[in-house]
Structure 1
Amino acid sequence: MLKFPFFLLALFSVLSSRAQFNLSGKVTDQEFKALSFITVKISGSQNSVNYTQTDSLGFYAFKNLQTGKYLVVFSALNFKAVNQLFTLTKDTVINIQLQSHSNTLVDVQINARKALIEKQIDRTVFNVENSISAIGTDALELLSKVPGVRVLNDKVSLVGKGGVNVMINDKLLPLSDDELSNYLKSISSGNIAKIEVITNPPAKYDAQGNNGLVNIVLKKATAEGFKGSINTVFTQATYPTASAGGNLSYRKNKITLSTNFNIRKGSLVPFEQSDFFYPTQTWNIVNKDRNFRTVPSEQIGIDYQATPKTVLGLSYNGGLTNFHSEENIKTTIYNKAGNLDSVLNSDANAKIRSHYHSANVYLKQALDTTGKQLIINGDWFKYSDDKNRFFNNTSYSQNGEVIPDYFAEYLSTSKQNIGLYTLKADVDLPYKTFKFSFGTKLSFVNNQSDLAFYKVRNIAYELDPAQTNLFNYQENTQALYVNYNKSIKQWGFQVGLRGEYTQIDGISVNEQNSNEYFRIFPTLYIVYRANDKNTFSANYGRRINRPAYRKLNPFRWYSNQYAYTEGNPFLQPSYNDNIEISHTYHNILTSTLSFSHVTNGFNDVDFIDAGTNIQAAKPVNFITGNHYQFSNAITLNVFKWWESINQADVFYNVSNSSIAQTLSNLNGFGAYFSTLNQFVFNPSKTILGEASFWYQFPTVDGLNQNKSQYNLDLGIKALLLNKKIQLAITATDVLKTNRYRFNSLINNIRQEYNNYYDNRQLRVTFRYNFGNEKIKQQDRKPGNEEERKRSN
């Protein structure tokens, strides 16, 4: 009987000797601050040796160790090594505090300057911090400095390709052109890290947007300790504008806090002129406008490193725009002989108050130490505006007398609320021979608009029920995507597939439009690296362009008794198939040949009735077209003090129309050239200069014929007080040549436009940086990549 207990004791000893346990802990300095990248070496009795390093929070771990005696050594440059001998019989935690050497070397600051422009497999990156143009401006103005991107009348587009969707930190902005420009103007360029131009987005991104995406990546506050900056800007156009702001960030152990605030106040004087050539009359319309804006905005964010593998985040962005304008619209009417017939004068003023709120909840969970991770984003976005526009109309005869019964006063009002909720999950699974990722997204959009029209009768506003409208629009989308990436020797392949199922429901003036559809969007990338100097690539992608919400509302918005705009509740999405083939030589010259085919394309058409002179603008699906483009981008560093980024594009557009009121087709060539040059004027690199120029040759844009235009910008920047102070002076549109001129033909009535938007400006900027300058970069990209282009 005594043999059995001895047998159990022997069996327990053998099993215990084969048990596996974990060793973990945290390494700090004398002040208990976490130390990252500390080398940890462990050696056992069997001459086995393993190494690891502490992570960004000072944690380390060894797993699946046998029981026994071990020696663990903690070592790092500038710290005294610590040796510790212990016996492992269970999961063990060893926390170590390292002592710095008394003869520690002084800090060495290494400045690695990225290229101003970087070409990646699926995008072009503009590193904002390396451009003098980024000092003292806003996001919208900064976009105009990015090669290949154009900003005309506050509308963002790609050269030769038309409008483009804009994202902030991978989140698509669901705003119309006016609302998008107001939002971008509320973002200080000092808060922007880089701008990515993605002409053919991969499957990870939403399929929305026929012409690709522009992604604005904001800076992430990751400084250990306290850091911040303050800035002031004075801008002189026709009238002055002033702005001020600042940002603060603080990081301690597991917590990172960041915040910024900016405010801008001033006015601009846009000028618009148009001519309509009717069979018996010519109308010349001149709109002189001065608009005033006060735009405050704020942002606050917090990140918490819950565990070495888990990061939680919460952020909020908010902004307000107070806008009012003073307009005078003078319409001069000439008869067929060219003599004055009559004059229609309209005085108007508008007041717009808009605000937005955006919140993001973020979870990043590392699945292992090889890069596998899960990222979950929950986003809420709310945009509201309240618009009031008063205008009157007075008609004068050719001798200057008021025409009886032709004076009228009107008031248009509009209130809008947009709510957007999204939930997004992405899983990245990198393996030794390939990378695989997949994800899903749910989005819920609710848009409510309340519009009314009043006519003044006996000094009182009288509501016109026929011009009053409530518009409710809901859109829900569910999406799934998969993406596969693999490299074989000199070849690289990436294939993706995205499916989106959309349900929409819009109700307006007793009209209801309900629809649902499922679409597949494939993407394919192929890269061949022939040698160190030559890289060839090709890609294909299919995209969808859903209409802006306001384009679906059939309500009519009158600017005067002869002109109105209305939406189309039956407007359908359009689709694009895009192909690109490119070659890069020595990271200096990139040549790209691209082709795009659009089906069911839509646009606003000014339908003009020659009998009544009524001008009715309405969006319709009527365009089928092809776009061919050959682009060359070259980066030159002939001298150490001069960097030059140059781009030349030649394109050919073919547009076919399915409606009788327009030309059946319009084809034509176009060309664009731009050069962005940065100069260093002293050895310490504290005096910098910049000169940029672009020229747009006459071209065909849809069914419009655009005339040529060009633009010259100049700037100089000085870095003072150990580069803590930045002082910059920039001049935009120096020659006052950035004029938007085009013509079109509707119902055989020619229309000509000549617009200038007060682009010539002189800007003086002062910025002071303070606090800890030792930056540790941490990547975080929130989700919500849908809908944020299409509101109002």
Structure 2
Amino acid sequence: MLRFSFFLFVCFSALHSWAQFSIFGKLTDQNFNTLPAITIKISGSGSQLNYTQTDSLGNYHFKGLKGGQYLITYSALNFKTTTRSLYLTSDTIINIQLFANEQMLADVDIKAKQPLITHKIDRTIFNAENSLAAIGTDALELLAKVPGVRVLNDKVSLVGKGSVSVMIDDKLVQLAGDDLSNYLKSISAGNIAKIEIITNPPAKYDAQGNNGLINIVLKKTLGNGFKGSVNAGLNQATYAAAVIGGNLNYRKDKLTLYTNLNFRKGSLVPLEQSNIYYPAQQWEVVNKDRNFRTVPSGQLGFDYQFSKGGTVGASYAGGLTNFHSEEQINTSVFGAAHLIDSALNSNANAKIRSHYHSASIYLQQLLDTAGKTFTLNADWFRYNDDKNRFFDNTSYSSNGQLIPGSFAEYLSASKQQIALYTLKADFDLPYPFLKISLGGKTSFIQNESDVNFFKRNAGTYIQDEKQSNLFRYRENTQALYLNASKNIKRWDFQFGLRGEYTQLDGVSVNEHNQIRYFQMFPTAFISYRASEQSVWSVNYGRRINRPAYRKLNPFRWYSNQYVYTEGNPFLKPSYNNNISLMHIYKQLFTTTFSFSKTTDGYNDVNFVEALSNTQSSKPVNFITGYHYQLSNSVVLNPLKIWENTSQLDVFYNVANSALPQTLKRLTGLGAYFASTNQFVFNQSKTVLGDISFWYAWPTVDGVNKSSSQYNLDIGFKTLWLNKKLQIALAATDILKTDRYRFSSLINGINQVYHNYYDSRQLRFSVSYNFGNEKIKRQEIKQGNEEERKRNN
């Protein structure tokens, strides 16, 4: 028995000595602010000595440690050194608070050099601190230089996926459209630590949208006082547009106040041309439009740390858009031998006044010293718009003579009100054996549209009841999710499941539509580190794409009495299944193969009738689509003064249509190439330049065949007054080649479109940063961005 006990003791000791464990945790200061770039040393028996540093979120990790006695030392400038002793027998979490020295040393800037592009199991990370593109720019400009991200006309999207939601420090920004772009322009790129691209969001995030997320992680700094910036710019396209704005932050111990205000005013001149080939006629339409926008917007909020590990915050944001347009729509009708048969001219004037108000409160509470946290978000959003479009029609014969009685005047009007209410709760529970996050969300959406159509008779507008409608729409959704992650030696695993139950109720003229559905949205991520230079990963996710509210609004926007655009109050959401396989080599070369399947896909279809010559554009569900994509990206520094990031995407699209008016199957091969180049012309890095180019090959998008388009941008920038003053000059779409050209075949009638949206611009901008550079405020957490994003 004694020998057997001794044998068991020897086996246990051997197994224990062979086992490998991890130590990880988070570092904060006395106010629970995270501490990046803190040096941590661990020493053990046998003269074992290892070092690491905390990342931008204050996290650290030691891996591959054998069992035994260890001493861990946490040290940083201006903080008291802290040590912890432990006997390691399993994976262990150690969260540490560092306290400031009474005698503070002078500031010293210590940077740990990281690769420009790094990868985690569920996201790709662009380390902005190591990019020349971050010098003297704002957040929107910097996003345009991130591989896989496109910024066109101030709208942010991912290549092959469309527009995305934006987060700041893992908290969704409750803005969209022009308001989002204005807000991003108010954030200095110098305050950004990294940008995370999440193409397949984990179960923690809303299942809405197939387009992914972008998370901007700000640098974590300390200090009381004021900090702010002001900026102004002048953009010259066909006409000039101006923008001015600024932000101000104030911090005093546990209280942080912040505000920003932006104002944009100007006009653009888009040009839309189309050819409709009827059996006996050809219609050529030229729409010359000048639209004017005046957009003031602002935000006000605060954060307060009411206890150790407890923070509460609230914010308000509001914006107003005054829009009006002046249009000339000329339609030429050709008969046999392309001889002019008649002409139809329309003059239109549209006026749109819209405004939004949003309010948000949040509570975050640390539950224990192991890092378990609880977060609660409550959000309210209201949007109103009032649209009026006056237009007239005049017909002319083939010899240019006015056709008697052809002159007519119309008014198309719509009022829309949208209200959103959301409540969201999240638990983050890190255990030594498993990291778990779980939570739930409920949202209530109300949308009401009052649509009217009038014809002018004897100086008075008479309502056409057949084309007037009151549309009421309600959408309520309840969601629960569970996410778990685990690291085992060279393997990383993350699995999640999200369930959403949605109730829809739509009421239109003589139509009532009620839908109830429950859907599950699983996600899975697996990563394998084959070596220090090679990493393989695979991920899967299911998503839902609910339509934008404007696509549900039956309002008709008439170009003339034959041509109009309308929404579809009974449009259903589409679903996507996405899977991708990725290989990363030396954090420089990334290759990804991805596949996605879309069911119940919807698109705008221009229905044309040969007998009546009517053209009506309307979104409908009719597509089952397949998308195959091979992506390659590379990050290079050919010279010290030159940084290059390039990517090449090759994809193949298949669209099967259930709509009898369209082709049953449409397939197409496409490709996209982009290259961004940053240059530094002096040692002090105060004279900078950049050149960006992208080219999109012809491809298939739903029922449309699109032609090639490409774009060339050039920029120049100088920094003054210790880099606080930034002066920039940039030219976009220099060659005037960013034109959207596509064709489609509906009811056997070919349609060809050629549109240009005034994208060639010369931009001059000035910005100035002032105040205490060490202040960093927390961004308010919001939980209703996905619902609000559908407002656009």
User: TM-score, normalising length from structure 1?
Assistant: 0.83
The equivalent of 1:746 in structure 2 is: 746
Q: What is the CA-CA distance between 1:559 and the residue it aligns to?
A: 2.8
Q: What is the CA-CA distance between 1:638 and the residue it aligns to?
A: 2.5
- Cα separation, 2, equivalents of 1:742 and 1:664: 18
After superposition, where does 1:627-776 map in structure 2 within 5 Å? 627-775=627-775
2:353 is aligned with what amino acid? R
The equivalent of 1:190 in structure 2 is: 186
Kept in 2, the 8 Å contact 1:171–1:784? The answer is: no
Alignment root-mean-square deviation, CA:
3.2
- Cα separation, 1, equivalents of 2:108 and 2:295: 41
Q: What is the CA-CA distance between 1:135 and the residue it aligns to?
A: 6.7
The equivalent of 2:67 in structure 1 is: none
Kept in 2, the 8 Å contact 1:167–1:214? The answer is: yes
The equivalent of 1:181 in structure 2 is: 177
Sort the Cα spacing of 1:195 and 1:335 in 2 relative to 1 into closer, same or farther, 3 A. Answer: farther
Counterpart secondary structure, 1:786: helix
After superposition, where does 1:176-575 map in structure 2 within 5 Å? 180-191=176-187, 193=192, 196-214=196-214, 224-554=224-554, 556-575=556-575
Kept in 1, the 8 Å contact 2:241–2:265? The answer is: yes
Post-superposition CA distance 1:182-223 (Å, at most 9, x none): 433443413275654322111011111134344567899975
After superposition, where does 1:553-632 map in structure 2 within 5 Å? 553-554=553-554, 556-632=556-632
- Cα separation, 1, equivalents of 2:617 and 2:633: 38
- Cα separation, 2, equivalents of 1:208 and 1:301: 27
Post-superposition CA distance 1:92-112 (Å, at most 9, x none): xxxx99753xxx753324467
- Cα separation, 2, equivalents of 1:368 and 1:111: 31
- Cα separation, 1, equivalents of 2:732 and 2:553: 38
Post-superposition CA distance 1:337-391 (Å, at most 9, x none): 1011111111111111111112110111001122210111111111111111111
Kept in 1, the 8 Å contact 2:385–2:417? The answer is: yes
The equivalent of 1:64 in structure 2 is: none
Counterpart secondary structure, 1:337: helix
- Cα separation, 2, equivalents of 1:35 and 1:676: 33
Kept in 2, the 8 Å contact 1:371–1:430? The answer is: yes
- Cα separation, 2, equivalents of 1:668 and 1:637: 35
- Cα separation, 2, equivalents of 1:132 and 1:421: 39
- Cα separation, 2, equivalents of 1:555 and 1:534: 54
Q: What is the CA-CA distance between 1:552 and the residue it aligns to?
A: 3.2
Counterpart secondary structure, 1:677: strand
Q: What is the CA-CA distance between 1:142 and the residue it aligns to?
A: 7.0
The equivalent of 1:50 in structure 2 is: none
Kept in 1, the 8 Å contact 2:235–2:762? The answer is: yes
Q: Which runs of 5+ in 2 are unaligned?
A: 1-28, 40-74, 82-98
Post-superposition CA distance 1:710-756 (Å, at most 9, x none): 00111111111111111111111111110101111111111111111
Sort the Cα spacing of 1:608 and 1:218 in 2 relative to 1 into closer, same or farther, 3 A. Answer: farther
- Cα separation, 1, equivalents of 2:736 and 2:263: 27
Q: What is the CA-CA distance between 1:174 and the residue it aligns to?
A: 9.6
Q: What is the CA-CA distance between 1:520 and the residue it aligns to?
A: 0.6
Kept in 2, the 8 Å contact 1:186–1:296? The answer is: no
The equivalent of 2:19 in structure 1 is: none
Q: What is the CA-CA distance between 1:791 and the residue it aligns to?
A: 3.2
- Cα separation, 1, equivalents of 2:128 and 2:348: 39
1:596 is aligned with what amino acid? S
Q: What is the CA-CA distance between 1:434 and the residue it aligns to?
A: 1.8
1:582 is aligned with what amino acid? M
Q: What is the CA-CA distance between 1:659 and the residue it aligns to?
A: 1.7
After superposition, where does 1:43-58 map in structure 2 within 5 Å? none
Kept in 2, the 8 Å contact 1:220–1:778? The answer is: no
2:291 is aligned with what amino acid? N
- Cα separation, 2, equivalents of 1:774 and 1:443: 37
2:277 is aligned with what amino acid? F
- Cα separation, 1, equivalents of 2:445 and 2:220: 28
- Cα separation, 1, equivalents of 2:741 and 2:100: 69
- Size of the alignment, in residue pairs? 708
Q: Percent identity?
A: 62
- Cα separation, 1, equivalents of 2:35 and 2:198: 35
| Range 107-116 or range 496-505, more displaced | 107-116
Counterpart secondary structure, 2:773: coil
Kept in 2, the 8 Å contact 1:229–1:247? The answer is: yes
Q: What is the CA-CA distance between 1:224 and the residue it aligns to?
A: 2.5
The equivalent of 2:165 in structure 1 is: 166
The equivalent of 1:65 in structure 2 is: none
- Cα separation, 2, equivalents of 1:35 and 1:501: 37
Which structure is larger by alpha-carbon Rg, 1 or 2?
Answer: 1
1:422 is aligned with what amino acid? T
Q: Which runs of 5+ in 1 are unaligned?
A: 1-26, 40-74, 82-95
| Range 490-499 or range 266-275, more displaced | 266-275
2:165 is aligned with what amino acid? V
Counterpart secondary structure, 1:183: helix
| Range 348-357 or range 108-117, more displaced | 108-117
The equivalent of 2:68 in structure 1 is: none
Sort the Cα spacing of 1:164 and 1:621 in 2 relative to 1 into closer, same or farther, 3 A. Answer: same
Post-superposition CA distance 1:566-602 (Å, at most 9, x none): 3333322211110000001111011000000111211
- Cα separation, 1, equivalents of 2:477 and 2:693: 42
- Cα separation, 2, equivalents of 1:553 and 1:211: 23
Sort the Cα spacing of 1:430 and 1:650 in 2 relative to 1 into closer, same or farther, 3 A. Answer: same
Post-superposition CA distance 1:508-531 (Å, at most 9, x none): 113111111101110000000111
- Cα separation, 2, equivalents of 1:503 and 1:552: 16
- Cα separation, 2, equivalents of 1:119 and 1:35: 22
Post-superposition CA distance 1:417-464 (Å, at most 9, x none): 111110001100111232001000010001111111111111122222
Post-superposition CA distance 1:159-188 (Å, at most 9, x none): 334x3443454677899xxxx534334434
- Cα separation, 2, equivalents of 1:316 and 1:379: 10
Kept in 2, the 8 Å contact 1:274–1:753? The answer is: yes
Kept in 1, the 8 Å contact 2:550–2:791? The answer is: yes
Q: What is the CA-CA distance between 1:703 and the residue it aligns to?
A: 1.5
- Cα separation, 2, equivalents of 1:396 and 1:419: 46
Sort the Cα spacing of 1:447 and 1:610 in 2 relative to 1 into closer, same or farther, 3 A. Answer: same
| Range 542-551 or range 607-616, more displaced | 542-551
Kept in 2, the 8 Å contact 1:317–1:358? The answer is: yes
Q: What is the CA-CA distance between 1:77 and the residue it aligns to?
A: 6.3
Kept in 2, the 8 Å contact 1:229–1:768? The answer is: yes
Counterpart secondary structure, 1:788: helix
- Cα separation, 2, equivalents of 1:474 and 1:340: 49
Sort the Cα spacing of 1:138 and 1:417 in 2 relative to 1 into closer, same or farther, 3 A. Answer: farther
2:561 is aligned with what amino acid? Q
Sort the Cα spacing of 1:296 and 1:287 in 2 relative to 1 into closer, same or farther, 3 A. Answer: same
- Cα separation, 1, equivalents of 2:339 and 2:440: 65
Counterpart secondary structure, 1:670: strand
Sort the Cα spacing of 1:541 and 1:105 in 2 relative to 1 into closer, same or farther, 3 A. Answer: closer
After superposition, where does 1:62-81 map in structure 2 within 5 Å? none
Kept in 1, the 8 Å contact 2:186–2:247? The answer is: no
Counterpart secondary structure, 1:723: coil
User: TM-score, normalising length from structure 2?
Assistant: 0.83
- Cα separation, 2, equivalents of 1:137 and 1:341: 54
Counterpart secondary structure, 2:186: helix
